[in-house]
Amino acid sequence: MTATVPDTDTFARDWADWHNSKEANLASPHGFLSVTALVWLSEEPTRVPGAPGLWSDGDRGVVVTLEAGEELLVDGAPVQGEHVFGRLGLRESLSTVAGDTVVELAERGGRHVVRLRDPRSPLLASYPGTPTYPADPRWAVQGRFVPFDAPRPTPVPGAFEGVQHVYDAPGRVEFELAGRQLSLTAFPGHAPGSLTVLFSDETSGTTTYAFRALQLGPADADGRLTVDLNRAANLPCAYTDLATCPTPPAENRLPLAVEAGEKTPLARGAGRPTGNGAVLDA
């Protein structure tokens, strides 16, 4: 492996800053560990356990009907009675507030879902932190982004049964590890020009979760970018059943053990279905 960061102390500090920031976000009062309920919406009005209102998804898109004495804050303004959210865009999410909880509305796999983020979540209260491999500059190598002639629609199953995601993959990331030439299909990242890579490897299902995510780029003008597997991170589905994460494309399994990045979480929330189509933290 070709190291890209010669200053080991600086490298370790930068990695620790990244890891601590990720942990703080995950374990914040309304981070993903606070999710306690998930409800897929349909035309039939239904309740989200712990949240006000009856929620439905029909011709007008998502609608909530609040009973007397119930209230939501939408964009900071109080809402009573009926409120029409309409249809959300692809993978769009928005948050409303009910007391000290956040009621999240999201589009996933062509359907609308409501999740409750409750700071009193048992999983959040007992979170012990995520174990990791020690940061090691040997796992940070130079790679190259090779774009496709045109983005390729790439369907992948979701971690939640019955959900399928489709991403327009812009290209592949090529790099060398342990003398092997490797490549991974990349999806668009959160920032312009950045990339997200979902992958599994020979540690998956043993010391690490079934798959992990790596944020990359943007690449420079020559397509070069750093592939730092020390920052291989768990997705929310590693911590709870109440997540709809995409899984890696079949070709994104690395034929070696990536002993870097985050390991399998020590605690996990297991969801249980209810009679009204909701899934609750068990």
d(CA 188, CA 190): 7
β 278-281/271-273 pair status: antiparallel
Report if pTM > 0.75: yes
Q: What is the pLDDT of residue 45?
A: 96
β 195-199/212-216 pair status: antiparallel
d(CA 95, CA 137): 38
Task: Show pLDDT as tens, one digit a residue, over the chain (282 residues).
Answer: 444 444 788 999 999 999 999 999 999 999 999 999 999 999 999 999 999 999 999 999 999 999 999 999 999 999 999 999 999 999 999 999 999 999 999 999 899 999 999 999 999 999 999 999 999 999 999 999 999 999 999 999 998 888 899 999 999 999 999 899 999 999 999 899 999 999 999 999 999 999 999 999 899 999 999 999 999 999 999 999 999 999 999 999 999 999 999 999 998 887 666 657 777 775
Question: Phi/psi at 254 (nearest 5 deg)?
Answer: -80, 135
Residue 245, CA atoms < 13 Å, CB-side half-sphere: 25
Q: What is the pLDDT of residue 2?
A: 44
Residue with tokens 């990045």: 261
What contacts 78, CB < 8 A, 6 or more positions away? Answer: 71, 72
Question: Phi/psi at 87 (nearest 5 deg)?
Answer: -100, 140
Cα distances from 83 to residues 43, 54, 60, in angstroms, run 15, 11, 11
